[in-house]
């Protein structure tokens, strides 16, 4: 469990640092868009926790990502039903917007762009290699496909 929490938090921290680099680039490029993105950035964990994390049996204190589980715990008890297509779409779109929006500003700051993608790729690799194979969420569409390959 200790390794799951270590890898979960590390992956989340790396992704957050990458997104903060994107926010910095956006603010330097266009303050209004930067502020709007910042608001979206702050709201996104609540959206992800509601539509995805609250259905994970690891939410709360057992969540490897920590903060997301605690946010999910605010909404309701664990709902371990299957994810609907709408829930998956909302989470995927939230993540896509978090990643894509800063790209327009990051392209102007090549070192921020490179750092963004290195951090984001490392975070995803940590999740896929260290968390997904040991995931307790039987309904997770991502982890199910990774487990099938092992």
Q: What is the pLDDT of residues 95-141, one digit of tens each?
A: 999 999 999 999 999 999 999 999 999 999 998 888 887 777 778 87
Which tokens belong to 102?
Answer: 């800063």
Structure confidence by residue, pLDDT tens digits, 69-89: 788 778 766 667 788 899 999
Distance CA 25, CA 22 (A): 5
Residue 1, pLDDT score: 47
What's the rounded Cα separation, in Å, for the pair 5 and 7?
A: 6
> CB–CB of 15/34 below 8 Å?
no
pLDDT in tens, 22-66: 999 999 999 999 999 999 999 999 999 888 888 877 766 777 777
Contact 37, 15 (CB under 8 A): no
Return the percent helix, strand and coil in the chain, to nearest 5.
80, 0, 20
pTM: 0.87
At what angle are helices 85-100 and 31-51 packed, to 10 degrees? Answer: 150
The pLDDT value recorded for residue 146 is 52
The pLDDT tens digits of the residues spanning 138-149 come to: 788 776 555 555
């Amino acid at each position: 469990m200790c390794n799951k929490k270590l890898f979960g938090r590390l992956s989340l921290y790396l992704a957050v640092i990458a997104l903060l680099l994107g926010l910095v680039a956006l603010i330097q490029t266009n303050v209004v868009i930067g502020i709007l993105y910042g608001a979206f950035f702050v709201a996104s964990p609540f959206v992800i926790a509601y539509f995805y994390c609250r259905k994970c049996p690891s939410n709360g204190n057992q969540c490897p990502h920590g903060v997301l589980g605690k946010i999910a715990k605010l909404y309701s008890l664990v709902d371990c039903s299957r994810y609907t297509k709408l829930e998956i779409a909302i989470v995927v779109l939230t993540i896509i917007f978090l990643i894509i929006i800063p790209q327009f500003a990051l392209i102007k700051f090549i070192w921020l762009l490179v750092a963004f993608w290195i951090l984001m790729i490392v975070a995803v690799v940590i999740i896929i290699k260290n968390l997904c194979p040991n995931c307790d969420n039987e309904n997770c569409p991502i982890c199910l496909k990774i487990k099938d390959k092992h």
